Amino acid sequence: MKSTLFLTLFIILGYQFKTCAQNVPKQEWIKSKSPAFNGWDETKLNEIEEYLIDSTATTGMIIVQNGELIYQYGNIKENSYIASCRKSILAMLYGKYIENGTIDLNITLDELGFTNDGLLSNTESNASIKDIISSRSGIYLLAANGGDMTDLAPERGSVKPGELWIYNNWDFNMAGYIFEHLTNTDIYEEISAQFAIPLQFEDWDISIQEKDGDGLITDALAYHIYFSVRDMARIGVLMLNQGKWNNKQIIPKSWVQEMTYPHTSFDEVDKIAPFIKNKYNSKAYGYMWWLMHQPKNQKLQNAYSAQGAWGQNITVIPNMNTVVVIKTNDLYLRQKGNHDYILDQVATAYDARLNESLEHLAISLTNDDIQKFVSDYKLSPPKTDSTNYQNPINSLAYYYLNERKDNKKALELFQLNVNQFPNSWMVYDGLAEVYYRTGDLDQSLKNYNTTIKLNTDNTWDNNTRVSYIINRISRKN
């Protein structure tokens, strides 16, 4: 189906989508060597983690930018129930079949022959697929499962299809039922074919997927879905890239834009469900995706989310070329924490201008060219009042020392840190360690002595540890 109407509206209303670089993860996610050199404030990221631990029931979280893991927390491999995020996944599946003409959004339930065992009135039978996937059908029958807002619905028959938005599981479940009927496929097999295989899901298990709900009420059951955090992140990256993955268009770009267009305005959502609005943002609604409206942090403008009970969330932030996934395993029956606050803090932790100024250093890190990184850093050290680069360089050096077992690159980075921060005992401690590991005990002893000299407050009781190492080195010499 051509989308000229909606694309015209996008132009008229100035609703712009940022074009994102085609950076997608490989078969396995790669973790950024140093988020600080991509414009992220690691102190603020640590504060987010403290909030996750102390104030939420979150079991897994990821921040992805440019196809790399900027941050991860908890268990990102565990498959668990994604609740109403399933609806956004279904909306994505529709795109292929709308483009090839298998599904016409304007066809009605009456034309499909879906009378719901004769329970639908003539007016309700005129609800179109478009009305259903935007949760505007006006049909307020019992759904196979609860967890919606139909307690806010008006009297049945008082509104026509398309007139009123109510978050309605009958609509969402019927959307799945219609999809399988018209495409002659299974939703879970479609997830495998359209997403799991081309996006190289790491944890997808079709055997654990199952529909659920009260089958005595309706044939349209809830299509429950179980994903891991890192596979949810791949879904987010696909949306961020406007449906493209490795230069292949998995979902039509026009459909990504239609899904994330405000078919239900913030004003209407707020009128029906004022409790959704908070001090961090308010929400509009697309085709089974929640759209941020006037967020407190303008970096979140045009961001959109798949959201589900028990704390499931996939948020796409085009202005930051970033995807955030937050997850809570529903088996623990715990839900606490404010996702809108977390997203606000994620946006606060990122500085696009700083990212741009550090791009040359980030490229050197990506290319594993530490010699160029050190040279460029010395020529033009980052200038910022908010970030002390001693810790990022130290972490980077220990990454090469411990994970990569590359003593040469670790030494270059520790030497850079001493050059840039000559009054810090910690940088000498790191330099002493790499010399110790490479067998240069004289240099190790020299730098450990400097560590004690500069650590006048014996921070973390580190001088006790260092004195022991010095004694050991002295015996070896």
What beta strand segments (E) does 45-104 contain? 60-65, 68-74, 80-81
Contact 443, 418 (CB under 8 A): no
For the chain, the straight-line distance linking the first and the last C-alpha, in angstroms and rounded, comes to 79
So what's the pLDDT on residue 319?
97
Q: What is the pTM of this model?
A: 0.91
Where exactly does CATH 1.25.40.10 map onto the chain?
A: 354-476
Contact 342, 326 (CB under 8 A): yes
Residue 17: its H or E element: none
Q: Using the structure block, give the residue that is written with the tokens 């990504």.
A: 256
The full length of the chain comes to 477
Query: 378-432: per-residue pLDDT in tens?
Result: 998 887 655 679 999 999 999 999 999 999 999 999 999 999 999 999 999 999 9
Edge-to-edge strand ranges of the sheet holding 304-308: 30-31, 68-74, 60-65, 322-327, 312-317, 304-308, 290-293, 282-285
Distances in whole angstroms, Cα of residue 247 to Cα of each of 73, 231, 250, 347: 30, 19, 9, 28
- Give the pLDDT of the chain (477 residues) as one tens digit per residue: 333 333 333 333 333 334 445 588 988 999 999 999 999 999 999 999 999 999 999 999 999 999 999 999 999 999 999 999 999 999 999 999 999 999 999 999 999 999 888 899 999 999 999 999 999 999 999 999 999 999 999 999 999 999 999 999 999 999 999 999 999 999 999 999 999 999 999 999 999 999 999 999 999 999 999 999 999 999 999 999 999 999 999 999 999 999 999 999 999 999 999 999 999 999 999 999 999 999 999 999 999 999 999 889 999 999 999 999 999 987 877 778 899 999 999 999 999 999 999 999 999 998 999 999 999 999 988 876 556 799 999 999 999 999 999 999 999 999 999 999 999 999 999 999 999 999 999 999 999 999 999 999 999 999 999 999 999 998 887
User: Which residues fall within 8 angstroms of residue 290, CB to CB, at 6 or more apart?
Assistant: 283, 284, 304, 305, 306, 307
Query: 357-380: per-residue pLDDT in tens?
Result: 999 999 999 899 999 999 999 998
Q: Tell me: domain 354-476, CATH 3.40.190.10, correct?
A: no
Where exactly does CATH 3.40.710.10 map onto the chain?
A: 1-349
Q: Tell me: domain 1-349, CATH 3.40.710.10, correct?
A: yes
Contact 453, 470 (CB under 8 A): no
So what's the pLDDT on residue 387?
64
Instruction: Kindly calculate the radius of gyration of the chain based on its CA atoms and give it in whole angstroms.
Output: 27
So what's the pLDDT on residue 23?
81
Give one DSSP letter per residue of 338-391, joined into a string. Answer: -HHHHHHHHHHTB-HHHHHHTHHHHHHHHTT-HHHHHHHHHHS----SS--THH
So what's the pLDDT on residue 464?
96
